[in-house]
Amino acid sequence: MNVKYDFSGKVALVTGAGSGIGRATALAFAQAGASVAVADIAAEHGQETVQLIKRAGGEATFFYVDVGSEESVDAMLAGVVDQYGGVDFAHNNAGIEANIVPLAELDSDNWRRVIDVNLSSIFYCLKGEIPLMLGRGGGAIVNTASASGLIGGYRLSGYTATKHGVVGLTKAAAIDYANQNIRINAVCPGPVDSPFLKELPQPMRDRLLFGTPIGRLATVEEVARAVLWLCSDDSKYVLGHSLSVDGGVAVTAVGTRMDDLF
């Protein structure tokens, strides 16, 4: 991955950095010269990301975190401060899928867990990261939302609700700290060639592509590039924005597509 940014001397925190988009973003930050706090609930995968960074000549440390627990987030951030002195960039990326069922059939325990991991986690991370950045004179934060934070989805009520919440929380937080040199934005990926999608049956993967005008899945590196741009000075006038990296998912009307019928 070619990275033009120079983040030397900076510290980047990435949650959910053990795989997928989080790992790609952690690697990209390291390639740009940042020291990377690799945070994940899956210790083995997080350590693998650290080793990938170190083998490439970068600096990284693993920190365990369950982002659905405020206490765990606070402990993780305390560890990052002990190791690196603070945080300049944060990619609040960790999240989970919800049960894919009609709303009335969604298990309430699943609803609460998805809210905790996908939405409350962003609040906990922002609440802890912002004071650290204020102490360093500013910073940049990118929250991972989704195309599902911009549109609805069949049988995805729990997941959609959380990602719409991330978009709204991003906007509100961005306004609160706009004049204190902290920029907060969101990235909204569409279908990404990630470990989760690799597990889906081929008919489901085909249907995702049918609703993606560009005709292919995104790579994790493409999303990582968007995150780094939002953290860089190249986007220093971008604030509270939800950046679609979705191949056109959020702007298309799938019901008008008829080419498969002819």
Task: Give the residue numbers annotated as catalytic, written as ranges.
Answer: 159
HSE-up of residue 31 (Cα within 13 Å, Cβ side): 17
Backbone angles phi, psi at 62, to 5 degrees: -90, 140
Question: What whole-number distance in Å separates Cα of residue 83 and Cα of residue 62?
Answer: 10
List, in sequence order, every residue forming a beta bridge with 139; answer none if it has no partner.
182
DSSP-assigned letter for residue 217: P
Query: Which strands form 59-64's sheet, in the order they lie side by side?
Result: 59-64, 35-40, 11-15, 89-92, 139-144, 182-189, 242-245
Question: What whole-number distance in Å separates Cα of residue 251 and Cα of residue 262?
Answer: 23
Query: What is the residue type of 67?
Result: V
Which segments of the chain are extended strands (E)?
11-15, 35-40, 59-64, 89-92, 139-144, 182-189, 242-245
Both tokens assigned to 145 = 């939302």
Question: What whole-number distance in Å separates Cα of residue 26 and Cα of residue 78?
Answer: 19
Asked whether the CA dihedral 226, 229, 234, 238 is positive or negative, the reply is positive
